Protein backbone atom coordinates (compact mmCIF):
# COMPACT_ATOMS: atom_id res chain seq x y z
CA UNK A 1 0.00 0.00 0.00
CA UNK A 2 1.41 3.40 -1.01
CA UNK A 3 0.46 6.26 1.26
CA UNK A 4 0.00 9.85 0.02
CA UNK A 5 3.30 11.72 0.05
CA UNK A 6 5.29 8.48 -0.01
CA UNK A 7 8.78 8.73 -1.58
CA UNK A 8 11.76 6.48 -2.28
CA UNK A 9 15.30 7.80 -1.94
CA UNK A 10 18.48 6.18 -3.19
CA UNK A 11 21.32 6.05 -0.66
CA UNK A 12 24.64 6.72 -2.36
CA UNK A 13 26.66 3.96 -0.72
CA UNK A 14 28.70 1.02 -1.94
CA UNK A 15 25.79 -1.41 -1.50
CA UNK A 16 23.27 0.60 -3.52
CA UNK A 17 20.46 0.55 -0.96
CA UNK A 18 17.37 2.77 -0.84
CA UNK A 19 15.27 4.43 1.83
CA UNK A 20 11.46 4.37 1.81
CA UNK A 21 10.14 7.55 3.41
CA UNK A 22 6.61 8.42 4.50
CA UNK A 23 7.02 12.00 3.35
CA UNK A 24 8.01 13.72 0.12
CA UNK A 25 10.63 15.66 2.05
CA UNK A 26 14.24 14.50 2.14
CA UNK A 27 14.95 12.05 5.01
CA UNK A 28 17.33 12.92 7.80
CA UNK A 29 21.01 12.32 7.06
CA UNK A 30 21.20 10.13 10.15
CA UNK A 31 19.13 7.54 8.27
CA UNK A 32 21.72 7.25 5.47
CA UNK A 33 24.59 4.91 6.24
CA UNK A 34 27.52 3.52 4.31
CA UNK A 35 30.13 0.86 4.92
CA UNK A 36 33.37 2.45 5.98
CA UNK A 37 36.77 1.06 6.80
CA UNK A 38 38.53 1.59 10.13
CA UNK A 39 41.27 3.43 8.25
CA UNK A 40 38.93 6.15 7.07
CA UNK A 41 36.98 6.79 10.27
CA UNK A 42 34.41 8.53 8.06
CA UNK A 43 31.21 7.14 6.53
CA UNK A 44 31.31 9.60 3.60
CA UNK A 45 27.59 8.98 3.02
CA UNK A 46 24.91 11.12 1.46
CA UNK A 47 21.41 10.77 0.00
CA UNK A 48 20.58 11.52 -3.62
CA UNK A 49 17.01 12.35 -4.56
CA UNK A 50 16.08 9.79 -7.22
CA UNK A 51 12.81 11.33 -8.37
CA UNK A 52 14.27 13.42 -11.19
CA UNK A 53 17.56 13.64 -13.05
CA UNK A 54 18.12 17.24 -11.98
CA UNK A 55 17.44 16.58 -8.30
CA UNK A 56 19.71 18.36 -5.82
CA UNK A 57 22.49 16.50 -4.03
CA UNK A 58 23.28 16.97 -0.38
CA UNK A 59 26.58 15.74 0.93
CA UNK A 60 29.53 16.39 3.22
CA UNK A 61 31.80 15.89 0.20
CA UNK A 62 32.98 18.93 -1.78
CA UNK A 63 31.08 19.58 -5.05
CA UNK A 64 34.04 18.65 -7.24
CA UNK A 65 34.34 15.28 -5.52
CA UNK A 66 30.67 14.50 -6.15
CA UNK A 67 31.10 15.05 -9.87
CA UNK A 68 34.49 13.36 -10.02
CA UNK A 69 34.28 9.60 -10.60
CA UNK A 70 37.82 9.20 -9.27
CA UNK A 71 36.90 10.19 -5.71
CA UNK A 72 37.95 7.89 -2.87
CA UNK A 73 34.37 7.18 -1.78
CA UNK A 74 32.20 4.23 -2.77
CA UNK A 75 33.60 1.32 -4.70
CA UNK A 76 37.03 2.94 -5.20
CA UNK A 77 37.64 2.83 -1.46
CA UNK A 78 36.31 -0.70 -1.13
CA UNK A 79 38.49 -1.94 -3.97
CA UNK A 80 41.57 -0.31 -2.47
CA UNK A 81 40.97 -1.61 1.04
CA UNK A 82 39.84 -5.09 0.03
CA UNK A 83 43.22 -5.97 -1.45
CA UNK A 84 45.56 -6.48 1.53
CA UNK A 85 48.40 -7.59 -0.74
CA UNK A 86 48.38 -4.16 -2.38
CA UNK A 87 49.51 -2.46 0.84
CA UNK A 88 53.04 -3.82 0.92
CA UNK A 89 55.37 -6.18 -0.85
CA UNK A 90 58.56 -8.02 0.03
CA UNK A 91 61.88 -7.51 -1.73
CA UNK A 92 65.27 -9.28 -1.66
CA UNK A 93 67.11 -6.25 -3.06
CA UNK A 94 69.07 -3.96 -0.73
CA UNK A 95 71.65 -1.21 -0.71
CA UNK A 96 74.23 -1.40 2.05
CA UNK A 97 74.21 1.88 3.96
CA UNK A 98 76.80 1.18 6.64
CA UNK A 99 78.48 -1.60 8.60
CA UNK A 100 80.60 -2.20 11.65
CA UNK A 101 82.86 -5.20 11.15
CA UNK A 102 83.18 -5.58 14.89
CA UNK A 103 86.24 -6.15 17.02
CA UNK A 104 87.43 -7.82 20.18
CA UNK A 105 84.48 -6.57 22.20
CA UNK A 106 82.06 -5.60 19.42
CA UNK A 107 79.74 -7.82 17.44
CA UNK A 108 79.61 -7.09 13.70
CA UNK A 109 76.36 -5.65 12.36
CA UNK A 110 75.24 -3.91 9.21
CA UNK A 111 72.49 -1.56 8.06
CA UNK A 112 70.72 -1.97 4.73
CA UNK A 113 68.02 -0.13 2.80
CA UNK A 114 65.47 -1.96 0.61
CA UNK A 115 65.57 -0.67 -2.96
CA UNK A 116 62.30 1.15 -3.71
CA UNK A 117 60.07 0.37 -6.66
CA UNK A 118 57.39 2.41 -8.39
CA UNK A 119 54.64 3.26 -5.91
CA UNK A 120 56.39 1.57 -2.96
CA UNK A 121 58.98 2.81 -0.45
CA UNK A 122 60.84 1.37 2.57
CA UNK A 123 59.39 1.81 6.06
CA UNK A 124 62.88 2.28 7.52
CA UNK A 125 66.42 0.97 7.22
CA UNK A 126 67.08 -2.68 8.07
CA UNK A 127 69.61 -3.94 10.60
CA UNK A 128 71.21 -7.38 10.80
CA UNK A 129 73.73 -9.01 13.08
CA UNK A 130 76.65 -9.79 10.81
CA UNK A 131 77.62 -8.40 7.44
CA UNK A 132 75.02 -10.08 5.22
CA UNK A 133 71.74 -8.39 4.18
CA UNK A 134 68.38 -9.64 5.42
CA UNK A 135 66.70 -12.37 3.41
CA UNK A 136 63.73 -10.14 2.65
CA UNK A 137 62.74 -6.54 3.28
CA UNK A 138 59.40 -4.73 3.23
CA UNK A 139 58.24 -2.04 0.82
CA UNK A 140 54.98 -0.23 1.60
CA UNK A 141 52.57 1.49 -0.75
CA UNK A 142 53.53 5.17 -0.74
CA UNK A 143 51.34 6.78 -3.40
CA UNK A 144 48.02 6.58 -1.56
CA UNK A 145 47.29 8.65 1.56
CA UNK A 146 44.63 6.15 2.57
CA UNK A 147 47.37 3.70 3.54
CA UNK A 148 50.55 5.75 4.13
CA UNK A 149 52.07 9.21 4.29
CA UNK A 150 55.51 10.80 4.14
CA UNK A 151 57.13 11.72 7.47
CA UNK A 152 56.64 15.29 8.61
CA UNK A 153 60.33 15.61 9.40
CA UNK A 154 63.30 13.65 10.74
CA UNK A 155 64.72 14.04 14.22
CA UNK A 156 68.43 13.34 14.64
CA UNK A 157 68.70 11.00 17.62
CA UNK A 158 72.33 9.85 17.57
CA UNK A 159 75.69 10.01 15.85
CA UNK A 160 78.16 7.13 15.68
CA UNK A 161 81.68 8.51 15.82
CA UNK A 162 84.13 5.72 16.43
CA UNK A 163 87.73 5.24 15.49
CA UNK A 164 88.24 2.92 12.55
CA UNK A 165 84.73 3.18 11.05
CA UNK A 166 82.87 5.80 9.04
CA UNK A 167 80.78 8.33 10.94
CA UNK A 168 77.02 8.02 10.51
CA UNK A 169 73.94 9.86 11.73
CA UNK A 170 70.77 8.15 12.90
CA UNK A 171 67.39 9.81 12.30
CA UNK A 172 63.92 9.05 13.60
CA UNK A 173 61.06 9.88 11.19
CA UNK A 174 58.25 11.88 12.78
CA UNK A 175 54.99 10.52 11.38
CA UNK A 176 51.89 12.67 10.73
CA UNK A 177 48.94 12.18 13.11
CA UNK A 178 47.21 8.89 12.38
CA UNK A 179 50.32 7.27 10.92
CA UNK A 180 53.23 5.28 12.39
CA UNK A 181 57.01 5.29 12.10
CA UNK A 182 58.47 1.79 11.93
CA UNK A 183 62.16 2.58 12.31
CA UNK A 184 65.13 4.87 11.95
CA UNK A 185 67.11 5.93 8.90
CA UNK A 186 70.90 6.28 8.59
CA UNK A 187 72.86 8.90 6.65
CA UNK A 188 76.58 9.47 6.18
CA UNK A 189 76.22 13.24 6.41
CA UNK A 190 74.56 15.60 8.87
CA UNK A 191 71.94 16.52 6.26
CA UNK A 192 68.35 15.48 7.00
CA UNK A 193 67.15 12.56 4.84
CA UNK A 194 64.66 13.14 2.06
CA UNK A 195 61.02 12.75 3.07
CA UNK A 196 60.60 10.55 0.00
CA UNK A 197 63.12 8.01 1.31
CA UNK A 198 60.54 6.19 3.48
CA UNK A 199 56.83 6.15 4.23
CA UNK A 200 54.72 5.91 7.38
CA UNK A 201 51.85 3.38 7.28
CA UNK A 202 48.38 4.19 8.57
CA UNK A 203 47.89 3.25 12.23
CA UNK A 204 45.10 0.88 11.22
CA UNK A 205 47.63 -1.18 9.24
CA UNK A 206 50.15 -1.74 12.04
CA UNK A 207 50.31 -3.49 15.40
CA UNK A 208 52.48 -2.92 18.44
CA UNK A 209 55.76 -4.86 18.28
CA UNK A 210 58.49 -5.96 20.65
CA UNK A 211 61.95 -4.48 21.05
CA UNK A 212 65.03 -6.62 21.66
CA UNK A 213 65.99 -6.96 25.31
CA UNK A 214 69.59 -5.97 24.57
CA UNK A 215 70.89 -3.44 22.06
CA UNK A 216 72.39 -4.66 18.80
CA UNK A 217 75.23 -2.24 19.46
CA UNK A 218 76.06 0.57 21.85
CA UNK A 219 78.73 3.10 22.61
CA UNK A 220 81.46 2.34 25.08
CA UNK A 221 80.65 5.51 27.03
CA UNK A 222 77.40 5.88 28.93
CA UNK A 223 77.34 9.68 28.94
CA UNK A 224 78.23 12.59 26.74
CA UNK A 225 77.70 13.45 23.06
CA UNK A 226 79.22 10.17 21.87
CA UNK A 227 76.71 8.01 23.74
CA UNK A 228 74.27 5.96 21.65
CA UNK A 229 72.50 2.62 21.42
CA UNK A 230 70.70 0.72 18.64
CA UNK A 231 67.75 -1.60 19.31
CA UNK A 232 66.16 -4.04 16.89
CA UNK A 233 62.37 -4.00 16.44
CA UNK A 234 60.60 -7.33 16.11
CA UNK A 235 58.84 -6.73 12.79
CA UNK A 236 58.89 -7.96 9.20
CA UNK A 237 61.03 -5.05 8.05
CA UNK A 238 64.01 -5.72 10.39
CA UNK A 239 63.88 -2.07 11.41
CA UNK A 240 65.54 -0.53 14.46
CA UNK A 241 65.31 2.34 16.91
CA UNK A 242 68.24 4.44 18.07
CA UNK A 243 68.73 6.47 21.22
CA UNK A 244 71.27 9.09 22.37
CA UNK A 245 71.75 7.07 25.58
CA UNK A 246 71.73 3.43 26.72
CA UNK A 247 68.06 3.30 27.75
CA UNK A 248 65.73 0.90 26.01
CA UNK A 249 63.23 2.74 23.76
CA UNK A 250 59.59 2.85 24.78
CA UNK A 251 57.53 -0.06 23.45
CA UNK A 252 55.01 2.52 22.21
CA UNK A 253 57.46 3.38 19.43
CA UNK A 254 57.69 -0.18 18.09
CA UNK A 255 55.34 -1.26 15.30
CA UNK A 256 54.97 -4.15 12.88
CA UNK A 257 52.83 -4.58 9.78
CA UNK A 258 49.39 -5.94 10.72
CA UNK A 259 48.41 -9.39 9.48
CA UNK A 260 45.69 -8.07 7.18
CA UNK A 261 48.21 -5.77 5.47
CA UNK A 262 50.98 -8.32 4.87
CA UNK A 263 51.68 -9.62 1.37
CA UNK A 264 49.57 -12.72 0.84
CA UNK A 265 50.37 -15.59 -1.46
CA UNK A 266 47.48 -16.87 -3.56
CA UNK A 267 45.77 -19.93 -2.17
CA UNK A 268 45.53 -23.14 -4.15
CA UNK A 269 41.83 -23.59 -4.83
CA UNK A 270 40.24 -26.73 -6.25
CA UNK A 271 36.65 -26.62 -7.44
CA UNK A 272 34.33 -29.36 -8.67
CA UNK A 273 31.48 -28.40 -10.98
CA UNK A 274 28.55 -30.71 -11.70
CA UNK A 275 25.97 -29.89 -14.38
CA UNK A 276 22.67 -31.72 -14.42
CA UNK A 277 21.74 -30.28 -17.80
CA UNK A 278 23.08 -27.73 -20.22
CA UNK A 279 21.05 -25.65 -22.64
CA UNK A 280 22.66 -23.68 -25.45
CA UNK A 281 20.86 -21.40 -27.88
CA UNK A 282 22.66 -20.61 -31.15
CA UNK A 283 21.32 -17.66 -33.11
Tens of pLDDT, residue by residue over 68-91, are: 444 444 445 444 444 445 788 899
Residues 63 and 201 in one domain: no
Pair (55, 152) in one structural domain: no
Residue 266 lies in a domain: no
Residue 14 has a pLDDT of 53
Is 37 part of a structural domain of the chain? yes
Kindly state whether residues 59 and 96 are assigned to the same domain.
no
Do 91 and 202 fall within a single domain?
A: yes
Residue 1 — pLDDT band, cuts 50, 70, 90?
low
CB 201 within 8 A of CB 142: no
CA–CA dist 183, 124 (Å, integer): 5
Query: Is the same domain home to 137 and 55?
Result: no
Same domain, 53 and 114: no
Distances in Å between the Cα of 48 and the Cα atoms of 3, 28, 31, 55, 117 are 21, 12, 13, 8, 41
Q: Please indicate, yes or no, whether residues 109 and 35 belong to a single structural domain of this protein.
A: no
* 52 and 91 housed in the same domain: no
Number of domain units in the chain: 2
pLDDT number for residue 169: 95
What residues form DSSP beta bridges with 201?
148
Residue where a domain stops, chosen among 50, 81, 112: 81
Range of the domain at 47: 7-81
Q: Based on the fold, state whether residues 73 and 97 are members of the same structural domain.
A: no
Residue 66 burial (CB count, 10 A): 15
pLDDT above 70: percentage of residues in the chain: 69
Within a domain: residue 275?
no
Q: Give a yes or no: residue 51 inside a domain.
A: yes
| Same domain (yes/no): 173, 45 | no
- Whether residues 124 and 239 share a domain: the answer is yes
pLDDT digits (tens, 9 = 90+) for 222-264: 776 778 999 999 999 999 999 999 999 999 999 999 887 776 5
| The overall pTM is greater than 0.75 | no
109 and 230 fall within a common domain: yes
Amino acid sequence: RILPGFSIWRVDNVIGTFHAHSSANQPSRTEALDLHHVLLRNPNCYIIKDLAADSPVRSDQPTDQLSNPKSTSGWDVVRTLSRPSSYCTSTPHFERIWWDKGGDSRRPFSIWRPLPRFGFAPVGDCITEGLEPPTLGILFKCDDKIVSEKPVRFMKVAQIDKKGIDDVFLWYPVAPPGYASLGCVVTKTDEMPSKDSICCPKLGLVNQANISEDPISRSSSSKGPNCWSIWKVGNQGCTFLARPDLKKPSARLAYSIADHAKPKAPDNVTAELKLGSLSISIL
